[in-house]
A and B are shown apart, each in its own frame.
Chain A
């Protein structure tokens, strides 16, 4: 005899693993769950506090250089490989997972001024104070082979920077002029000049790869087009720009690291005023690198700190510093958007988490859900004073803190003076100049 019973889908009440919580049917009637805002507020507050508790961004430092680290390069195909060049002409290749140096090359005499990896990751280029451009194999020499560059190009002047094209066998160097080289030749394909000042850095656009940006010591940023081998436009700022970096997701956006403690994000189509002025550093900004998602960038400064800025915000969301870290000369954001590397004067390369309180490693699904929920709560209640206070609180070394205070006072004084001037002069004779336009001297066609 068969007895028929009511049947239910076991998926509705049976848990998948014994580690899962029991599924309990739930009544979502809002009357049964009152005080949703206060409860969520409490959760948000706790989440914010925990975020600060777990904010331990520093992972490790890679030491081994015998002089200040002057430049770094990411490996385009391997996340665990990073190259660094020092002020004594030494190039080191690091394994980030083991946190070890896997190879050391005495590449140049004097500084290694710039380095870049080829887009395929098989070789890399270095330029140095000895007026040479050298191409090296990425793999270490095999048994019995000599540690020698593949090619060496002797130049007439010192090269101060180098960058490789993102798709073709072409690279660009800068010094007295911007030279574009074919890898197979020993003389440049073309030289781009505009004015006669030394150019400190040159960068290829990663999306529209024929575009180049350079910054020279006569305070200007120049854009070039490789197809026409002509410069495009020049924008002159108040002070010198040290480096620039193109946004990897937005073809026409680049950010320039300036000596006047600020970073300027430009739209290359409208150079008259920057899209955003990022101010928080208290000394010259020496290097900038975009996160591969194009949403944020990291900047290294002479004030011994590294800051992370959202692209669309004027102030940083994070500042990293340690007691021993000196002037940070170079900084890189790794290609998986997880880590930041910075090379500084005191011969160390430091590895930081890009998201200070992020838990490393594999997350369980429930952990992930909780993380997302906390993130959302923090976002939702970000305007509440207590939460904002906790979320924004950072400890800073005294020097930076004092300098920030000083800067604030100076800015306030300047503002007051301007106000007074405006008050005592003929109406309309003292026009308001927006912060963005203040720093631009001229745009030269």
Chain B
């Protein structure tokens, strides 16, 4: 074996030596030496070994144990001793062997197609989000276009004209002239008159003012009338009482004034003194007047007159006396009434006007109010009557002024309230308290209550018409039970009657029948079953035995038929029918007789025969019937060809049953049969457009759902809410008037 190997080797080397140059000369030489030495006698085998590292490594130096063995790649990689470290590498190697080659890329056409398909799917999904909107629009009863209502805005001239310039010579000339004369090119601001008019009183205010004035005028006339009325009163007692009460009042006031403001009281006193002096000077109350003279005449006989005269004189003396300046003793009571009132006027408090019905609602001092109301309350008491009268007297003059002052105050208060939110709240409470009508709670009290947090008793609730409770007074069960009872009773009555009758008939017809039934027990409630049973009994009795007999008798067909239709004569029936049809087709005479026309009429009176003869119109005889000579035929000439031309012969498309179609035709639309509102609803057009408005294509902004979906991307685009709650473009319903 070795020799062979060597020989081959040598041969190879020889051939190689020829081929390659002198580079390998050395190597070859060595080999030759080796070969030669191996040829020597001893069979010495020397394994070629590489002992040192060299640049040139001969492939021939590589040796293996068994020279004849085949080299396997895995063996090369295998370690000498089996080691686990390289097994993974081996595995990988096997896997690499198994792997197929990378596929060829798709052709350009194919690739494009895939892209297209993907894009198409996506786009149709995107577009599909409009599906719901489109369906709704198609189904909508009314669409109003344009979908977006544009608000026209007026652009100010300055903005529009800013970009514009005069270019043509004519324009330039015109503008030059305008500039020269300093005409305003743009709109000037508001003129003073305009500003004034803008700042003038608002409509609301004007209305208020007018209402106040009206009220004042009314009040004035009212009091004038009252004063006139009172002036006419002749009762002395009345006047006396009036005077006294006035005096008392003045006194009281004076005392009050004296306490509160002595200086003013002093001044007042002086004034009074002045008055007294004037009175003294005027020489009133002396016995020179007409009345005094008459009294003087009467004094001789009349005690009363004498008394009056004395009084007069006393008064005169009193007046003539010099008054001492000591305050408490000073009594202004004797001062004449007219002057007194005139003096006391300014001191009357505003609250005194409470007796006036006009002024009941006005916000006045709460302390004064009750007094006034008391006075109002017991008019019958004479003592109180005085006070009332007093007040009225005093009010007489001051009332209007006070009223106007009051109005001014009110207005002021209102303005303030409008300014402040708290005020508004108060206003609301007032409004609430006023709502139920003439509520006894005074606004002020209500306010107080509200401020205290006390809830008012639920008055408003009492006035609500419906009484709302949780439990039902009468439940549905009750109602149903009642209804069912009634029904049963109703059924019972006729059913029982019928059953009885039927049973009686049966008994009559089959008198000899053994199955004679006794009449049903008169139960109060007869069930439906019982009634049905009675019916079946009736059917049973006559028919069965008859048929059996006939079958026994003979099988003649004709006989059978005649037997079967023994009762009904068909021919006669037909004849009758025809006669009836003929009668119906005959033209009817028209009766135009008016009873009572031209003669006496009334119950029990008949128009005269002459008249009947005259006004009973006989129509011309009808043309001969077409079935005149055909005894077995009825030819109807009812159908009107002219009408048929207008009738629908077959069911039109969207309808499925003729009832639907008939129903659609039967319901009238016009105003003759419908109310105005219903008519408007019924005739509302499907599409409304506005003249001169551009209708833009629908966009996502018009439909909030779609806009949201578009914002969310492709995913939610498909998940549009299944049903829109409201139609996007439905027109808001007009309010019914």
Which residues of A pack against B, CB within 8 Å?
11, 28, 30, 33, 36-37, 39-41, 43, 76-77, 79, 142-144, 166, 206-208, 211, 223, 225, 228, 230-233, 248-253, 268-269, 292-295, 312, 335-338, 362, 369, 372-373, 375-377, 380-381, 383-386, 445
Pairwise interchain contact A373-B683, C-beta atoms closer than 8 A: yes
Pairwise interchain contact A336-B167, C-beta atoms closer than 8 A: no
Complex Cα distance, B201 from A444, in Å, reads 78
Query: For B664, what are the chain A residues with a Cβ–Cβ distance below 8 Å?
Result: 380
> What string of 1s and 0s marks CB contacts (under 8 Å) between B641-657 and chain A?
00001111100100000
Pairwise interchain contact A369-B666, C-beta atoms closer than 8 A: no
- With beta carbons under 8 angstroms apart, the residue of A250, A369, A385, A445 that contacts B120 is A445
Question: Smallest CB–CB gap between A373 and chain B, Å?
Answer: 5
Pairwise interchain contact A249-B670, C-beta atoms closer than 8 A: no
Pairwise interchain contact B127-A269, C-beta atoms closer than 8 A: yes
**Assuming A79-B694, A233-B120, A336-B689, what are 8 further A-B pairs, CB within 8 angstroms?**
A206-B697, A208-B130, A252-B131, A292-B696, A336-B691, A336-B694, A380-B669, A445-B120
Question: Smallest CB–CB gap between B169 and chain A, Å?
Answer: 9
Pairwise interchain contact B698-A207, C-beta atoms closer than 8 A: yes
Interface membership of B31, Cβ < 8 A: no
- With beta carbons under 8 angstroms apart, the residue of A43, A206, A375 that contacts B670 is A43
Complex Cα distance, B710 from A251, in Å, reads 14
Pairwise interchain contact B116-A231, C-beta atoms closer than 8 A: yes
Pairwise interchain contact A249-B126, C-beta atoms closer than 8 A: no
Pairwise interchain contact A386-B645, C-beta atoms closer than 8 A: yes
> What string of 1s and 0s marks CB contacts (under 8 Å) between B661-695 and chain A?
10011101111111100011011110101111111
Query: For A253, what are the chain B residues with a Cβ–Cβ distance below 8 Å?
Result: 134
Assuming the contacts A268-B124, A268-B127, asked whether A39 and B113 have C-beta atoms less than 8 A apart, the reply is no
Sorted nearest first, the 7 A-B pairs with minimum C-beta distance are A292-B695, A248-B697, A206-B697, A36-B668, A383-B652, A232-B120, A372-B683
Interface membership of B572, Cβ < 8 A: no
Pairwise interchain contact B168-A252, C-beta atoms closer than 8 A: no
Query: For B690, what are the chain A residues with a Cβ–Cβ distance below 8 Å?
Result: 336
Query: For A385, what are the chain B residues with a Cβ–Cβ distance below 8 Å?
Result: 645-649
Query: For A337, what are the chain B residues with a Cβ–Cβ distance below 8 Å?
Result: 145, 689, 695
Pairwise interchain contact A376-B697, C-beta atoms closer than 8 A: no
Q: Kindly name the residue among A39, A251, A252, A380 whose own CB sees the greatest number of chain B CB atoms within 10 A.
A: A251
User: 27 A–B contact pairs at CB < 8 A?
Assistant: A33-B673, A36-B673, A41-B646, A76-B694, A79-B692, A143-B168, A206-B697, A207-B699, A208-B130, A230-B119, A232-B119, A249-B698, A251-B127, A251-B130, A251-B134, A252-B124, A268-B124, A269-B124, A293-B687, A335-B695, A338-B689, A373-B669, A373-B683, A377-B670, A384-B647, A386-B645, A445-B113
Question: Smallest CB–CB gap between B736 and chain A, Å?
Answer: 13
Interface membership of B123, Cβ < 8 A: yes
Q: How large is the interface on B (under 10, 10 to 19, 20 to 34, 35 or more residues)?
A: 35 or more
Pairwise interchain contact B669-A376, C-beta atoms closer than 8 A: yes
Complex Cα distance, B668 from A380, in Å, reads 10
> What string of 1s and 0s marks CB contacts (under 8 Å) between B609-630 and chain A?
0000000000000000000000
Pairwise interchain contact B682-A376, C-beta atoms closer than 8 A: yes
Complex Cα distance, B680 from A253, in Å, reads 33
Question: Smallest CB–CB gap between B688 and chain A, Å?
Answer: 10
Pairwise interchain contact B134-A445, C-beta atoms closer than 8 A: no
In chain B, residues 99-134, which have Cβ atoms closer than 8 Å to a Cβ of chain A? 112-113, 115-117, 119-120, 123-124, 126-128, 130-131, 134
| Chain A: CB-nearest residue to B117 | A445
Pairwise interchain contact A252-B128, C-beta atoms closer than 8 A: yes
Pairwise interchain contact A293-B145, C-beta atoms closer than 8 A: yes
| Chain A: CB-nearest residue to B115 | A230
Query: For B113, what are the chain A residues with a Cβ–Cβ distance below 8 Å?
Result: 445
Question: Smallest CB–CB gap between A238 and chain B, Å?
Answer: 23
Interface membership of B352, Cβ < 8 A: no
Complex Cα distance, B737 from A232, in Å, reads 55
Pairwise interchain contact A28-B674, C-beta atoms closer than 8 A: yes
Interface membership of B143, Cβ < 8 A: yes
Complex Cα distance, B697 from A294, in Å, reads 9
Question: Smallest CB–CB gap between B607 and chain A, Å?
Answer: 29
Pairwise interchain contact B697-A338, C-beta atoms closer than 8 A: no
